[in-house]
Structure formats: structure tokens, C-alpha cells
Structure 1
Amino acid sequence: MKELIKGQKISLNKDLSLSDFVVALKYENNSNYDLDISVMMLSEKGKLEEEDDFIFYNNPNSLDGSIKITGSANSFENNISVNTNKIQNNISRLMFVMTINDGDKLNQRLENVKNISICLINNGQQVLEYKINDLVKETAVILMEIYKHNTEWKIQATGNGFNSGLDAILKNYGSDKVNIKDETKLESKSVILEQKEVKPEEIKLEKIPKGSIDFVKKHKSRIDLVKKYVKDMGIESQKSQVIVVMDISASMSSLFNKGIVQDTFDRVLPLAMQFDDDGVIDVWLFDSKSIRSKTPYTTENREDFVKKEILQKHRLGGGTDYAKPINAIVKEYKNSENNNLPLFILFFTDGNCFDKSETEKAMIDASDYPIFWKFIGMGGNKPKPKDIVTNEKKGFLSKFKPSFDFSTGFDFLEKLDNLSGRKVDNANFLHIYNLDDISDEDLYQGLLEELPSWLIEIKKLNMIN
């Protein structure tokens, strides 16, 4: 393995024989700074000429397919796939950058990010490393550069730090005509990284889920929708942990195979990001037993979560027992140091359970704690048009709440919604016959139904502050 020192240059083609490889970063972020990694694709003039040539986690893939930010893997914090054969002709330099988000505003400096190193990985083997250990008050650093020299690509160990974050780098390498605008920003104000006008505090790269441009746009729209509804309900400042409980009994196979379960996770993510800033969803699975997933669903792993963390690790089968995951979650909550924060449970199943009496007792016991259970019946009986409109409730709820003479197929879940003996009404039932047929507006209003009134009740009972 080659070790570079600051300023050293070697040929990717001649010295390493590389064209398709991974650039990987290691560092110790014990201060838990919000670190952003980006790649600037510069023209022969040494300038960022196009908005699409600024690659970061909100725009993780270059248009030519040469650069792809793939997230963490193995012992590395960040991985970036590079294929120099695919780099478009007008690009002559790749600049790999690390910045502390809001570093100047928060007085956070790179001297507190220890043991920074940038490596090249070829077929799983580390072939090159450059260690950066001379940063002090900087809030941004150009780690390394890959540049074209005549007909070959070379690599340079740069390590140049900047005291004014990304703003300083853009002032040096941005183009007058470029106005980098983050179209998928979650905050209401847009993010504009202009060469002359940008201020460091304006640059805040939000936690955007990985995925296609179309998915990210949908996610932004859903975030805005959730924000609107929780504001209308008066609970926009309420924080809560969101947990998904997913049925993995054999009858769920069709929903998994059709991608409906994956879509379900994706569509509830905006709720998690509203109530819990880190956008992490803890996941529990159940059939005749209860299983806590060791890996939560996050913005980073969402694309393959169901495949890798559920289908490849757990066999679909067994019975359907509700009480076991309910009791397990309550037990964990009781032992948690953060048990003054309410839990919002989204409990998905496609059929009634085998342990009804145990489940009723579990729900009564759970009512002693600030845990709200939204039971979602997936599939079941198809609503009949004539039944849908007869419910006394108007609007979107009529799509989910059947009239008295129509059965959803989830009689027991409906019973839990009205179960007597509880300290507080801690449950609500929602029937979703076909997820694809439900608009985001109807889905989020349905998922949030009764949550505001429950929060009022548990505060009256001093179950939370």
C-alpha cells in the first residue's frame, strides 16, 4: 500500500493502474459534528461550471455516472465510487471536500475531528492512504484531488484547509454563472451557494434519504405535507420516537414481494423526521415471536432496507401474535433513560392474531405509559363504494372507516381501538386496502388521527411534561 504525504502526486494510470475504484474516508468524530462530504467536478479553467457537477448526498450521482456517493461501509465513514473512464471530456479535476455544517456559526473546528485519512480501495483492498493531521481552526478542507494531465489521470494529496467553510471553497472555485440550488431542501428557504453572496450559515445540507431524484422530490413534498398537518393539529413542536412494527408471518409474502412493505417504510419516513430529528425508525418484526431489528431504517439505508435487513435475515412464516411485540416494546421503554418522551408506534399487519386475550391485556398494561399504538390493517376486505360514503364522518376518513354493515376483515384491531379498561385511549385503527390507491394527504391524516387528543390526555395525567 502506498502512503502519500501532503503535496505528493502520483499517476493513477501508471503507478496504480486504476480507473474504477472507491475513495474512502476514515475519521474519529467524537464531537459528533455534522460533517458533509462532497465532490466538485471542475472544468479545465479550474471552475465549477454546472450545478450538476457539485456532488453531495442530496445530489449523490454525477450525470455521466463517473461519481457516486454510496455512504458508509466496512470501517470507512464515507465511500465514493469513481470511474475515470466515464468522466465527461469537459471535466479535468475532481476535488474531494469535507466541511463542518455550520462550523463557523457553532464554533466547531476540524482540529476536533481526529485521524482523518482518505484512501483508495480497489476490489476491496486498500491501495493508497493519505493522512491529514495538521488541521486546526479550519471548518472545511480539500482532502484530495484527481486531475487530468495530458492523457492520464493523477492524484494529489492536497489537505488544504479553509476557515470559512464551503463558502471559502466556492469563492475560489465557483463560476460566476453557477448558482448551485438545492431543489430538495427540507426547510422553506432555498439553499443557494453563490460565489459572492453565500454565507456559511446559509449552507445546511439536510438529512435527505438516498434514492432517485423522483423519490427525493416526493419525499420533500411529503415532509411539507406532514409539517402542514401537525401544525394544523397544534403538535408541530412535539417530539416523539417513531417505531414501526411489521408483521412477517407467511401471509405477508405477497406484500413483501410486490414492494409494498418497502413503500410503506418510505412513506412513513416523513413522520419519523417530523417527530424525531435524526429520522431514524426503530423496527420490530413479529410472527409467533417478537424480533427487534438490530439495524434501524434510516435515510442512509432505506433503498435496500427491506431486502437486506428483513428478507435476507428473517424467514417469513409462523403464526401471528400481537402481544409479544407489544410487551417487548413496553418493557424496553420502561427500562429506557428517555422514558419521558412519548412513543408513536405504527403497527402493520395483514390479519388478525392468535393471542387475542393476551393482546387485550398487553394493551391495557401499555396504557400506563405514553405509548400510542396506530394499528394498520393492510389488505383485508375491499371497501364497497356504497358503504364508504355512509359513515357519519365526512372527508378522508370515510375512505378508511367502513359503515356498520361492512367488515374490513380486521374486527379485532377495531376492537382494540375501543377496548375498555385502559387508563387512556392509547390506540387507533386504520384500514388500508391498497397503499397505492391512497394519496399522501389521506395517508398522513389517517395515521395522525387521534394522536393530538391522546397527547392532551397523557399530559393531563402527567405521563409526559
Structure 2
Amino acid sequence: MTTLAEGGNAPITGTTVRVGVDGPVDVTALVVDADGKVRGDADMVFFNQPAAPGVRLEGRALAVDLAALRPGADKVVVVASPEVEGATFAGTTVRFTLEHGGQAVGFTPSRLGPETVAVLAELYRRGGEWKVRAVGQGYDNGLGGLATDFGVVVDEGPAAPPTAPEEPAAPAAPTVSFTKGEEKLPPAMREKLNLRKQQVALVLTKHRAAGLRCRVVVVLDVSGSTGGLYRRGVFSRAVERVAPVAAQVDDGAEMQAWAMGGRAERLEDITIGGLPQWLERYAAQRYTGAGGWNNEKAAIEDVARFVAREPLDIPTLVLFFHDGGVTDNRGTEQALRAVGRAPVFWQFIGIGRSDYGILEKLDTLSGREFDNTGFFALDDLDAVDDAELYDRILREFPSWLRAYYPPGSVALRGLS
């Protein structure tokens, strides 16, 4: 048996699998689309509704036929809740097992305690193949609260008396899914996150990319001239404002991060639940571990090596924050041309009111097969509202996607 740690994944062999859960719990399955939402209450499989297309509940086990899931289904989320109503996972051990193609994958969440419901694992489609990911994320708002986060309408009481016919409903707003870890955020930050995710979703819809999935990388300029911007909180606010982009388009709701100084330094990944701590460690003041001058070429090359080492069947969007004063225009241009065939779009964002050199000419560079770069400058980050910021960030990316990937590619699945 293969044992997974939190966040680990493994390929699934075949399409007929069996999920078993050991422990004093009830098991629920949610069948969701690529946007992380169910299409209706019929996508929730639990003791009162034990079957949906391709999923059948058998006690604490699930029989899943991935080939028989309803059209559009991209993920099956396996959820557990204590058998005793109102109880928590404190003192309880829960074990998840997936049997597939004569093999088995196991996972035991290690951090459950006061929570009343937990996502144990996800069976998800990636590049036409199915995989299983160990999650182990607990929530304290009960099964009804978690189900609501996935778009299930939960009946919490008797129906209200009949009322007069309602006016036709307005068109539904773009879908915004629950983000893993957001329950750990301070209330004000969580509220901003969800409002901003809505703005990201609106912008994606505007650019016909409502279901876009991609990896997001952040590169922060930490050259000596950025000290004042860090002290004034500009970089901290910048990272907090782009985190909702990853929350909306990245399956793991995380961003990989680099510092760009005299050399490139990989920083800790940014997760939604750990965002306040990350900002305090890396954005509250200038990170000095990468040297005090600019080396754009080193950062571009290091991020490109990472993408090559850890390939995905979806693209990578790099958000490169720069305060100006490009040290090596020629080297920067050569580095970007050298990665022109990589599945990466480089969005440079100027926030220093300075000379951005070659960055200002990225949209007019000739001799490239694909326009893999964009640039815009923000003289005052705080003067630009979220709708405008996200539109600038995502304006060119979908066009590059459509030009770079061939028709039918999984990377284009969320685009229309």
C-alpha cells in the first residue's frame, strides 16, 4: 500500500475504485465541476441520498465509477463527519483507503481535533487522467456549512409558507468556490479574500476564461531600492491582493514565491491559511537573503527551471513585482526570449515610479513565436481598485493561452 502525507497525490489506475473510511464517522461524497462547485443538490451523496451517477455509498465505503460520473464532473470530494451529532474529531483516528487496479493508497489525517467535519481526500482529473490527493482539512461549521461552501443548498427546517410568485431570477454570478485554509484567516482578511475572488471571477468571465486553471508564481523585487516600499507595506498589500487570483485558479490555492535580488532565492510557498504569517516573514520588511541589486535574468531562469522540473498540464502565470531600475536590459530580454517556448506567461508589474527599461517594451518585442510577456506600472497601488488590478493582471494571459496551446488541450478546458 502507498501511504500519502497531507497534500500528497498518486495516479489512479483504471476507472472503477473503492473508497473505504475507518473510524466512527459518516461518509459523504461531493461531485464537483472544475470550479469546485456542485451543479445541484443531487451531487451530494450521503446517508439520505446514497447514490449519484458514478458514486454509491455503501456504509462507510464509496463505490466510484469515474467513467460514469455525470458530464462535466472533474472531482469527487470525500468528506467525513463524526457519527454522533455535535461531536468533534478529538481523540478519533480516521483512515482513508483507496483501492484501484489491484493497488491501494492510504492516508491518515494527523491534525484533526476540534473540527466537526473534514475533507479527507479528493479524486480529481488532471490532463485526462485521474489522481487522488490527500487533504485532511478540518472545519468547525459542520457538514451543512461545508456543503454550502461547495454550493449545496441545505434544507435546515420546514418549508416556508407559499408566497407570491417571484420575478425571474437574475443570471447567476460567476462561481467562487470555498478556498482551503480561508477559515484560518482573520475575519477582515477572509472577507476581503472572498470579495476579491468574486472580482477575479468577474474578470475571468469577461475574458471568456471562467474555468481557467493555472499555477501562479510570485516574484518580489528585493533590491536595495525597495526598502521604503516594504516599510510602507506596499509589497505586503500587493501580495495580499494577488492571493485571490491563486485562490480562484490554482487547484491547491497556493503560490510559489521567489525573491529577486542579486540572485534568485526560492521562498516558502504562499498558502491562503498561512498568508498572514508569510506576509509578516517576507513582506513586512525587505528580504535581505538574495542580495541588494537587480538580477532579473537569474530570477527568470530559476523560475523557468522550476517549471521544467515540475511540469503540469496547465500553464504557469508569473506575477513579477518590480520597483524599476532594470540592471541588465539585454540579459533580461535574452532570458525571456530563451523561455519563449515554455508554458509560462510572465506578467511584470511595476510599483516603483522608476525607469523600467526593457520591461516597458515587452509587448513590442519582435521575432517571438508567442507573446509570452506583459507589463503595466502602478504609480500608486492603493489608487487602483481590485476590478482594475485584476483586469490588468489577466488581460493578456488568456490570449497567450489560446495562441500557445493547440485546440483540445486540457489547458484550454476552462476557456470559451
**Amino acid corresponding to residue 321 of structure 2 in structure 1:** F
Once the two structures are overlaid, the 10-residue window that deviates more, 207-216 or 352-361, is: 207-216
Q: CA deviation at 1:336?
A: 2.7
Q: Which residue number in structure 1 is paired with residue 221 of structure 2?
A: 247
Among 188, 192, 213, the alignment partner of 2:187 is 213
Q: Which residue number in structure 2 is paired with residue 415 of structure 1?
A: 361
Listed one character per residue, the Cα deviations across residues 196-224 of structure 1 (whole Å, up to 9, x for unaligned) are: 89xxxxxx964253333222222111111
Distance 1:432 1:138 in 2: 43
Matched, 1:301 2:247: no
Q: CA deviation at 1:141?
A: 2.5
Q: CA deviation at 1:459?
A: 2.1
Aligned-residue identity in percent: 24
**Structure 1 contact 141–160 (Cα < 8 Å) conserved:** no
Query: What secondary structure does 1:347 align onto?
Result: strand
Among 141, 156, 167, the alignment partner of 1:194 is 156
Matches within 5 A, 1:443-454: 443-454=389-400
Q: Which residue number in structure 2 is paired with residue 140 of structure 1?
A: 81
Distance 1:243 1:273 in 2: 12
**Amino acid corresponding to residue 238 of structure 1 in structure 2:** L
Distance 1:362 1:157 in 2: 53
Q: CA deviation at 1:263?
A: 1.4
Query: What secondary structure does 2:270 align onto?
Result: coil
Query: What secondary structure does 1:334 align onto?
Result: helix
Matched, 1:274 2:248: yes
Distance 2:25 2:231 in 1: 39
Higher RCO structure (Cα 8 Å, ≥6 apart): 2
Distance 2:234 2:404 in 1: 33
Distance 2:261 2:328 in 1: 11
**Structure 2 contact 222–260 (Cα < 8 Å) conserved:** yes
Distance 1:99 1:355 in 2: 60
Distance 1:109 1:306 in 2: 44
Q: CA deviation at 1:248?
A: 0.8
Name structure 2 gaps, 5 residues minimum.
10-23, 31-44, 47-54, 63-77, 95-114, 118-140, 160-176
Cα RMSD (Å) = 4.4
**Structure 2 contact 226–286 (Cα < 8 Å) conserved:** no
**Amino acid corresponding to residue 227 of structure 1 in structure 2:** A
Q: Which residue number in structure 2 is paired with residue 18 of structure 1?
A: none
Matched, 1:380 2:353: yes
**Structure 1 contact 250–316 (Cα < 8 Å) conserved:** no
Name structure 1 gaps, 5 residues minimum.
1-27, 35-96, 113-136, 147-155, 168-177, 198-203, 382-408
**Structure 1 contact 280–299 (Cα < 8 Å) conserved:** yes
Q: Which residue number in structure 2 is paired with residue 360 of structure 1?
A: 333
Matches within 5 A, 1:5-20: none
Distance 1:327 1:236 in 2: 30
**Amino acid corresponding to residue 414 of structure 1 in structure 2:** E
In structure 2, relative to structure 1, the CA distance for the partners of 1:442 and 1:335 (3 Å cut) is: same
In structure 2, relative to structure 1, the CA distance for the partners of 1:30 and 1:244 (3 Å cut) is: closer
Distance 1:380 1:312 in 2: 18
Q: CA deviation at 1:157?
A: 7.7
Listed one character per residue, the Cα deviations across residues 64-93 of structure 1 (whole Å, up to 9, x for unaligned) are: xxxxxxxxxxxxxxxxxxxxxxxxxxxxxx
**Structure 1 contact 227–274 (Cα < 8 Å) conserved:** yes
Among 288, 292, 296, the alignment partner of 2:266 is 292
User: Based on CA coordinates, which of the two structures has the bigger radius of gyration?
Assistant: 1
Query: What secondary structure does 1:139 align onto?
Result: strand
Q: CA deviation at 1:411?
A: 3.6
Listed one character per residue, the Cα deviations across residues 105-125 of structure 1 (whole Å, up to 9, x for unaligned) are: 57599899xxxxxxxxxxxxx
Matched, 1:238 2:238: no
With normalisation by structure 1, the TM-score equals 0.54
Distance 2:217 2:328 in 1: 22
**Structure 1 contact 246–285 (Cα < 8 Å) conserved:** yes
Distance 1:245 1:303 in 2: 18
**Structure 2 contact 347–374 (Cα < 8 Å) conserved:** yes
**Structure 1 contact 349–378 (Cα < 8 Å) conserved:** yes
Q: Which residue number in structure 2 is paired with residue 12 of structure 1?
A: none
Q: CA deviation at 1:313?
A: 6.5
**Amino acid corresponding to residue 299 of structure 2 in structure 1:** P
Q: CA deviation at 1:250?
A: 1.4
Matched, 1:227 2:201: yes
